[in-house]
């Protein structure tokens, strides 16, 4: 319920502000934020070196089975040391997971990701991420054990106003029989700038793990640049098979907190 209200409030704030003025706020002299949310994929680009960025929002998911739902408050703190090296810490600040006859809530798992960018040109770059997810949530709402992920990224501005991020990753999830201990993931996102203030994106993503059902979903989202220091987003995702959440709705923001060095 708390997250549903947060999502509704964020959507309303975006709509009212956009109706009042469809142009971004004046440049404050700082670098533009680099949103990673709300897509599953992440870009090869890092945030501006030395500037701390925060991503926060709310997500509500239903399914895959009837009567199952998950509400969460995802967050991420991002800091780049150079244009090519950076780190982020993220997870779920709060989670509520419900199924018929039972509901559990509490803090979520926490992940730490080291990132390296390999620039090809001004328009194209590769990226590599090494991440560790720590089981800081109770097992009923979290992964239950630590997991390690290696993620390969390709990002490109392939046409005027168009951008793509493609991710392929492998995670050691430490699963128990009959499920494999390894899970492969993929995501392909395409985004388009509509105006100085508005942009839209679409993404297909999924996972494969032997012994459990493959997942697949389609995500559609819109973003609004309130200023170089803040970008709001909102959208929805729909599961494409019986192993995936039937639907998800989300909203959030990426903000520049300040310069650390």
Read off the pLDDT of residues 91-116 as tens digits, 9 standing for 90 and up: 999 999 999 889 999 999 999 999 99
Find the mean pLDDT for residues 27-33: 85
Helix (H, G, I), strand (E, B) or coil at 82: coil
- The pLDDT tens digits of the residues spanning 143-152 come to 999 999 999 9
pLDDT, mean over the chain: 91
Residue 18 has pLDDT above 90, yes or no: no
**What is residue 176's predicted lDDT score, i.e. its pLDDT?**
63
Task: Find out whether 224 and 210 touch, Cβ atoms under 8 Å.
Answer: no
Output 140 or 74, whichever has higher pLDDT: 74
Residue 17 has pLDDT above 50, yes or no: no
Residue 6 has pLDDT above 50, yes or no: no
Helix (H, G, I), strand (E, B) or coil at 19: helix
Band (pLDDT 50/70/90 cuts) for residue 5 is very low
Cα distances (angstroms) measured from residue 14 to each of 5, 9, 64, 198, 218: 14, 9, 30, 11, 23
pTM (2 d.p.)? 0.89
**What is residue 29's predicted lDDT score, i.e. its pLDDT?**
79
Assign domain 2-259 to a CATH class: mainly beta
Distance between first and last Cα of the chain: 39
Report the candidate in 33, 51, 36 with the shortest Cα–Cα distance to residue 229: 33
Residue 178 has pLDDT above 50, yes or no: yes
Question: Tokens in use for 220?
Answer: 């559609």
Helix (H, G, I), strand (E, B) or coil at 21: coil
Q: Where are the domains of the chain?
A: 2-259
Cα distances (angstroms) measured from residue 107 to each of 15, 74, 110, 142, 252: 30, 10, 9, 9, 18
Band (pLDDT 50/70/90 cuts) for residue 230 is very high
- The pLDDT tens digits of the residues spanning 190-211 come to 999 999 999 999 999 999 999 8
């Amino acid at each position: 319920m708390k997250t549903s209200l947060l999502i509704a409030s964020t959507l309303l704030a975006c709509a009212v502000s956009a109706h009042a003025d469809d142009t971004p706020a004046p440049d404050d002299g700082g670098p533009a934020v680099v949103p990673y949310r709300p897509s599953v994929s992440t870009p090869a680009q890092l945030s501006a070196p030395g500037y701390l960025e925060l991503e926060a929002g709310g997500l509500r998911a239903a399914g895959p089975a009837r009567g199952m739902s998950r509400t969460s408050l995802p967050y991420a703190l991002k800091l780049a040391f150079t244009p090519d090296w950076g780190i982020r810490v993220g997870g779920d600040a709060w989670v509520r997971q419900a199924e018929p006859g039972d509901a559990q809530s509490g803090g979520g798992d926490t992940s730490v990701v080291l990132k390296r960018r390999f620039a090809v040109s001004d328009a194209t770059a590769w990226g590599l991420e090494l991440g560790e997810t720590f089981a800081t949530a109770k097992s009923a709402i979290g992964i239950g054990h630590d997991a390690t992920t290696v993620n390969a990224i390709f990002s490109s501005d392939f046409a005027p106003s168009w951008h793509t991020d493609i991710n392929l990753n492998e995670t050691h999830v430490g699963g128990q029989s009959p499920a494999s201990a390894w899970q492969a993931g993929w995501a392909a996102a395409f985004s388009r700038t509509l105006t100085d203030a508005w942009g839209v994106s679409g993404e297909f993503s999924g996972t494969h793990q032997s012994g459990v059902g493959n997942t697949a979903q389609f995500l559609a989202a819109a973003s609004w640049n309130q200023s170089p220091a803040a970008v709001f987003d909102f959208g929805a995702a729909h599961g494409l098979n019986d192993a995936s959440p039937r639907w998800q709705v989300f909203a959030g923001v990426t903000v520049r907190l300040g310069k650390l060095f």
